[in-house]
Amino acid sequence: MSTVDGSRDDYAGHHETEPGDPSNPNHAARRELPLAPPSVKVERLPDPLKELGEPLSIEEARKAYLRTQRASWTSDSRTSKYERHRDHLYPRILAADRHFQSEYEGLTTAMFSRRLSPLDKSGNWLTPWECNEMLHGGSIHRSIREAIDYQLDGFSYEWVAVTAPTQSAGTPHEHVYFWIDDPDDEVTIGYFETGLERHLAHCVNAYQKHHQYRTDGSGGAITVQHSPEVVKEAPDKVHNILEESSPRPNTLGAQYLASQLAHLPVGDVYDGSKENPPEALLEGAALSWASPRNWFRASRGVPSL
């Protein structure tokens, strides 16, 4: 499914799958679950995602999300989440990618992906809110960052992290993309393995079997490219990418990361020339709207537009 100048197709083996067959009837039961469990105060949810003091079901949350975002999109006084992702975050990632290609003499890129199972130990579906808190809650971000910072000490590098829903069940998972000044090609997957260990140790429902990777860094939960592949065509200028006299192609990894922004699929829903995205992506976008966690994070050195 194509989105804004990019694709949500797998990049270097980043498979967006989870346990179970998406056609299984259990997925219908999942959609009947509330967006958040009873332990979450309903006041924390946006008004359209609750009714009579209770959170909407996953299916109803998707519908409410689409109605609200469409209204904001066509409003002269409001900006939709889709527009923010299309016109600000998407071009920011690609502009940063061009910047670091120019800034670093020997660019190495790496991607580290974190995911978790949406099923508890009994095989029952967790609510989207619970999955989101497992992925982002507590001190997990700091623990992983400290592990990777230690390994990359001595290198200049910056990163951007994007949380996206899976296409099969809308479960949040996170990709962290690194630009590293590595003229001697020293960085290997080993520089990120401790970070992965921290994720597996501190993220409930994160399992090794969902984080396999190739030892040469060519695919899976950890990828490393010393000569990063680039897209064949420059990004469409309509999306506010900063123009250059001689535009530099973006790396495939950055293009993939930008395409994962959670609210982009809304554009396909209302574009008659495109196929509707999987409903799970829109259910995940509703979770992103409701989430108190930031689904876009960046290091301090990543330039703003």
242-261 per-position pLDDT tens digit: 444 457 899 999 999 999 99
Confidence (pLDDT) at 245:
44
C-alpha 276/C-alpha 205 separation (Å) is 30
132-134-138 Cα angle (round to 5): 110
Copy the structure tokens of residue 182: 């590595």
pTM for the predicted model, two decimal places: 0.90
3-state secondary structure of 148: helix
Confidence (pLDDT) at 305:
75
Nearest to 259 by CA among 137, 175, 198: 175
Confidence (pLDDT) at 192:
98
Confidence (pLDDT) at 181:
98
Specify which residues 262 forms β-bridges with.
none
Confidence (pLDDT) at 10:
53
Nearest to 205 by CA among 163, 161, 176, 173: 173
3-state secondary structure of 55: strand
Beta carbons of 172 and 287 less than 8 angstroms apart: yes
Confidence (pLDDT) at 224:
98
pLDDT in tens, 260-289: 999 999 998 887 778 889 999 999 999 999
Residue spans of the chain under pLDDT 50: 1-6, 8-9, 15-17, 19-23, 25, 237-245
